[in-house]
Amino acid sequence: MKKIVALLCALLVMGGSAQALEVSAPSALLMEKETGAVLFAKDEHAKLEPASVTKVMTLLLTMEAIDSGALHYDDVITASAHACSMGGSQIWLKENEQMTVSDMLKAVCVVSANDCAVALAEAVSGSEEAFVEKMNQRAAELGMEDTHFCNATGLPAEGHVTSAYDIALMSRELIRSHPDIRQYTTIWMDSLRDGASSLVNTNRLIRFYEGATGLKTGSTDSALYCLSGTAERDGMELIAVIMKAPTSTQRFNDATSLLNYGFSTYTLKTVVPESALPPIPVSLGTQATVQPVLGEDTHLLLEKSKAGGLQQTVSLPESLEAPVTAGSQIGTLTVTAGEEVVAELPILAGEEIPRVTFGQMLSRMLRTAFLCS
């Protein structure tokens, strides 16, 4: 059923006016966070160098380590010689300099610090090489089929490639599962080392785009200018990915165009049954009824022109026979806009109802006979 809902969203999206939207970058994609629906795509599977947008995966694995308890924001990391040897964007860590995980996350998110990215990678996996193995493993788990990582930073390396689509996948996982990353990605200006090191975000959307929430810039001579830009308005968060833009200004202009298109054209609705779902009688069960509940995937991405007149139809059986498995589909909530079916959402059994045993049935019969005598 999840696949059906996703397909409906995709058909809805592709039926819109996305094809009228143009961006100058050779590869780009716009995705909605909750549903994963693609609202715009341009050569989205082209395998290109991502530069420092690579660090979305570095951040994802670091946040997963924090959420698992393997790492903590206030843990102190000692910078290794390897971490301090990174070129490109950095905060000039000195070997054996100590800094908290939180400050290193800030440095990675705000100024794309390569030295801190590697220090975090070493803290998570023991070495950058082991971390890169984990990066590629996680990419495979997320379905990032266009991706191969060679390092934790995005510094140029032969074979280090990904695609706009894959960047959207890992960006979505980061912002959906680890919303705390916003405490770093939304910083415009800050400092480290008790104010001695000033930070200004490389992502100018944070300063100039309403609702911007992140996420990561990247640029090298060969990758040109890349961006995974996220923004939220009216409860809907979008991910705009730009790859190989010719200039920094153009990547932000393209991302702004994508985000503006998404916010002006689509809205995200959460479906709630218009009336309480009634209990369903269960025959031969250990209890007389089961309570239906709506499944977890209740977000609908809709064109704004269709979002105002939605109607619901609930289809439930008159009765069920035990056993009933918790979470099994027992009905459907159909959402329509006029004559068009927008989505069919599963209604599930809210609890398990085992079938009565012979002994339980006999006990019921004897109890009923005794009460009637």
Beta bridge partners of 299: 270
Over the range 27-66, which residues count as b (16 or more CB within 10 Å of their CB) and which as e? bbbbbbbbbbbbbbbbbbebbbbbbbbbbbbbbbbbbbbb
Q: How many alpha carbons lie under 13 Å from residue 370 in its C-beta half-sphere? A: 6
The annotated binding site for substrate is made up of 216
For 127-183, write each residue's pLDDT tens digit: 999 999 999 999 999 999 999 999 999 999 999 999 999 999 999 999 999 999 999
pLDDT < 70 regions, the chain: 1-19, 358-373
Distance CA 328, CA 234 (A): 33
* Whole-number pLDDT of residue 7: 40
Q: What is the pLDDT of residue 360?
A: 67
Quick: pLDDT tens for 214-239: 999 999 999 999 999 999 999 999 99
Q: Alpha carbon of 338 to those of 12, 155, 312, 344, 351: distances in Å?
A: 14, 52, 11, 15, 34
Q: Is 373 exposed, middle or buried (0-12, 13-18, 19+ CB in 10 A)?
A: exposed
Binding residues: 216
Q: Could you tell me which of 189, 233, 239, 241 has the C-alpha nearest to residue 210? A: 233
Catalogue the active-site residues.
52, 55, 112
pLDDT for residue 372: 65
197-200 and 189-192: which strand pairing? antiparallel
Cβ(112)–Cβ(52) below 8 Å: yes
For residue 278, the 8-state DSSP code is P
Check if the beta carbon of residue 107 is closer than 8 Å to that of residue 119. no
Residue 308 token pair: 């105002």
The pLDDT value recorded for residue 362 is: 62
Largest CA distance in the chain: 92
* Cα 93 to Cα 295: distance, rounded to the nearest angstrom: 49
Give the burial string for 113-143 (b: 16+ CB within 10 Å, else e). bbbbbbbbbbbbbeebeebbebbeebbeebe
Strands 280-283 and 320-321: parallel
What is the Cβ-side half-sphere exposure of residue 176, based on CA atoms within 13 angstroms? 15
Closest by Cα among 151, 148, 150 to 161? 148
